[in-house]
Structure 1
Amino acid sequence: MQNLMDNYHVTGLSMACIEGCKVSRTVCYGLIDANSEKNVDIHSIFSACSISKFLTSMLVMKLTDLCILDLDEDINEKLVSWQIPYNESNRRKKVTLRNLLCHQSGVVDPEGSFPVLDSKIGFPTMVQLLEGKTPYCNVPIEMNYEPESDFQYSDAGFCIIQLLIENVIGKTFNEIMYEFIFQPLHMENSTFDPPNEGAVQSNFSTGHNKAGDEVCGKYPIYPYPAAAGLWTTPSDLALLVIELINSLKGASKLNLSVSKAIEVITPQGTKEWTGLGVFLDKTEKGIEISSLGWGAGFQSMMVAYPDIETGLVIMTNTDLGVHQLKGIIGDIYRAYPF
């Protein structure tokens, strides 16, 4: 592993292995920060970027099980502080949680939108974002095609989901996630709150570029929690993967129904490879579910095979500038004996 780290110039890496629906092994290499001597350990926290969408999906499934939300209801029925503007593209089919979760809602992210936080501008609200009133997204979000007719990967879609959840529950997204996901699963090193000064001095990992240098700001923040704001560890993410696998067997710690767990890994809409908040692939080991995280200074991957109760979560504090499968994460994934 150290040879791979050296070859790819990766500063720090953490990995959790799942076998028999349990965390069987954790592996940590390198440094939490290239300019320190602190080693990565099982408590080192990484930016998970878009793997946040997997957690958002699991939260939605829990809230639909409680009849707080409905996967197939017109989302405007419960949105309070902002409404999806209907037009000729979506007048016949209404936008639902289901097609937002599988990126088939009709939303197309404006070019150049959803960058890392600019400390001089500060945090936008979800309403400001969706109304196009911030530099993070400077045009209003609208539907560009009929729902369920095409796939367009969308951070804006998950901002809409976050706004809906906050409107309905009346709490912040992190508070809701803590109550329904983090606390019951004992995900003690996970948060959607951005790193603060105290946290940064403890277990938060610094992001690095492909040259091994610290990225600007050290801890890049994506102010869109449901889409890309998760900070966590591979061990914590593995707990959620295990929860999904157990839920499929009727053994959920969250009391998630089998039917809702099945929805997550069922092909949705026009694409066989799109589930709800995860991506799917048919293999000789059964269905493969995966989620990838890629942002400033960090890359990660979650992959699992529910049929054989195995999985792997890999997180690095280095952005290699190439797709995960073309870097160290891909090498580990292909070599791992699932």
Structure 2
Amino acid sequence: MRSIAAFIIGTLFLGACSQQENLTDQLHNVVEKYHNTGFYNGTMLIADSTGTLLKEAYGMADFDANKPLDVTSTFYMASVSKQFTAMAIMLLKEDGGLTFDDTLSTYFPSFPSWANSVTIRNLLTHTSGIPDYYGLGVAVPGFTNSDVVKVVERIDSLNFAPGGQYEYSNTAYVLLSSIVQQISGKGFNQFMQENVFEPTGMTSTVAYDEKMPERTNPCKGFDADGKEDDYQYFTTGGGGLYSNIEDMYKWHQALQSYQLVSQATMEEAYRPMILNDGSKSWYGFGWNIDEDNPKSVRHNGTLTSFRTYIERNLESGQVIIMLNNVGKTKRDELLTEIKALMSTSQADH
């Protein structure tokens, strides 16, 4: 009887391994198809509760130097950085350094009177009404957080009453980063290293602020014509992070296990914002929330030629991490095919 039981268990195990290997092959083939046709140049990590299904690099880190990508290559993360800024705020909240209902004027008394009605929660959820500085046409190479603050000081009025609607604002997240620096008395990269990156083992991730920390194995950005189109700013909060797929997977695992903040605080990050009229905005603290499946959260990033993406299922633990350094990409189409394969595999189980 023991032999029969062992045989059945072994057969089931081999069957599961075979299914996983088949899915890995299918995922690799679809990414390679996009790479071979010139529409994906980057790294990719896909995992579920059983572990990593795909971890591969496709293409070049630097076309001019003929340097290939590998799985440790670090990319400019663009707006995927916002979830890290939100985590810094949540850490300070749990430590008693601030509350989500603190007003912006508490930290920036030089701002116009409208800052009395904007809360940290508004900044986190893009419901502040503060214009995006990219839309104001003021961003230039070398732009810093201090430059953004000077721009905000000159804003006479908000685009709408705080909490009135959702409107994406990189300005809001730069201000959040500046608040972290004010409260902690540390540079943003130093705070993140000590409180987020080191505790989670993210050894290749840095916030590229005014001090320009050394980047590990960086890749360059290239536009659709093959010309260098690299990141040139020094703002943190809305962007500014460099990371790779290995570190981003560690980040996902840390969030799933509530390693950094409590479950209650994390659940608040994944909760839609209730607007002034009682309707919901499906953006939490640095995460887009799927209205049809609130257990699915995601964020993309786009600046210069970098295209980044992370999608996590809070219930199943499934994660898709896509980092691309060429402007000519079909990220959304590729993502659709990946998710179709994952869905079919789950249905077969």
TM-score normalised by length of structure 1: 0.82
Task: Name the structure 1 match of 2:256.
Answer: 245
Residue-by-residue CA offset, 1:48-90 (whole Å, 9 max, x unaligned)? 100110111112111111111211122322x15x544224xx7
Which range moves more in the overlay, 139-148 or 162-171?
A: 139-148
Query: Is 1:190 matched up with 2:205?
Result: yes
Separation of aligned partners in 1, 2:250 and 2:313? 14
- Residues 144, 9 of structure 1: alpha-carbon distance in 2 compared, 3 angstrom cutoff: closer
Aligned partner (choices 77, 101, 108) of residue 72 of structure 1: 101
Separation of aligned partners in 1, 2:252 and 2:156? 32
- Residues 8, 142 of structure 1: alpha-carbon distance in 2 compared, 3 angstrom cutoff: farther
Query: Is 1:95 matched up with 2:115?
Result: no
Query: Is 1:293 matched up with 2:316?
Result: no
Aligned partner (choices 49, 59, 62) of residue 33 of structure 1: 62
Deviation at 1:172, TM superposition (A): 0.7
Q: How does 1:111-150 map to 2 (within 5 A)?
A: 111-113=135-137, 115=139, 117-118=140-141, 122-124=142-144, 126-132=145-151, 140=155, 142-150=157-165
The question of whether the paired residues in 2 share the 8 Å contact of 1:159 and 1:226 is answered with yes
Deviation at 1:3, TM superposition (A): 2.3
- Residues 229, 263 of structure 1: alpha-carbon distance in 2 compared, 3 angstrom cutoff: same
AA aligned to 1:299 is R
Task: Name the structure 1 match of 2:184.
Answer: 169
Q: What is the number of equivalent residue pairs in this alignment?
A: 309
Aligned partner (choices 106, 129, 138) of residue 106 of structure 1: 129
The question of whether the paired residues in 1 share the 8 Å contact of 2:309 and 2:321 is answered with yes
Separation of aligned partners in 2, 1:197 and 1:203? 15
Task: Name the structure 2 match of 1:264.
Answer: 269
Aligned partner (choices 224, 227, 251) of residue 210 of structure 1: 224
Task: Name the structure 2 match of 1:59.
Answer: 88
Separation of aligned partners in 2, 1:71 and 1:160? 14
Deviation at 1:330, TM superposition (A): 4.7
Residue-by-residue CA offset, 1:184-218 (whole Å, 9 max, x unaligned)? 00111111126999957x61111011233322xxx
- Among the aligned pairs, what percent are the same residue? 21
Aligned partner (choices 29, 45, 49) of residue 78 of structure 2: 49
Deviation at 1:23, TM superposition (A): 4.6
1:314 match: secondary structure: strand
Deviation at 1:148, TM superposition (A): 0.6
Separation of aligned partners in 1, 2:50 and 2:155? 43
Deviation at 1:5, TM superposition (A): 0.9
The question of whether the paired residues in 2 share the 8 Å contact of 1:266 and 1:275 is answered with yes
Residue-by-residue CA offset, 1:255-314 (whole Å, 9 max, x unaligned)? x11110101111113334211111011446x62100101010110110010111111110
Unaligned runs of 5+ in 2: 1-30
Q: Which has the larger radius of gyration?
A: 2
Which range moves more in the overlay, 272-281 or 1-10?
A: 1-10
Aligned partner (choices 168, 177, 183) of residue 153 of structure 1: 168
AA aligned to 1:290 is R
AA aligned to 2:70 is D
TM-score normalised by length of structure 2: 0.80
Aligned partner (choices 317, 324, 327) of residue 316 of structure 1: 324
Task: Name the structure 2 match of 1:221.
Answer: 232
2:274 match: secondary structure: coil
What RMSD in Å do the two structures reach over aligned CA positions? 2.8
Separation of aligned partners in 1, 2:213 and 2:121? 38
Unaligned runs of 5+ in 1: none
Residue-by-residue CA offset, 1:306-338 (whole Å, 9 max, x unaligned)? 11111111001111377x42x544544454447
Task: Name the structure 2 match of 1:5.
Answer: 35
Residue-by-residue CA offset, 1:93-144 (whole Å, 9 max, x unaligned)? x2111110100012122534464x52xxx443x3432222xxxx89547533
Separation of aligned partners in 2, 1:276 and 1:211? 36
Separation of aligned partners in 2, 1:304 and 1:25? 15
Which structure features the higher share of helix residues?
A: 2
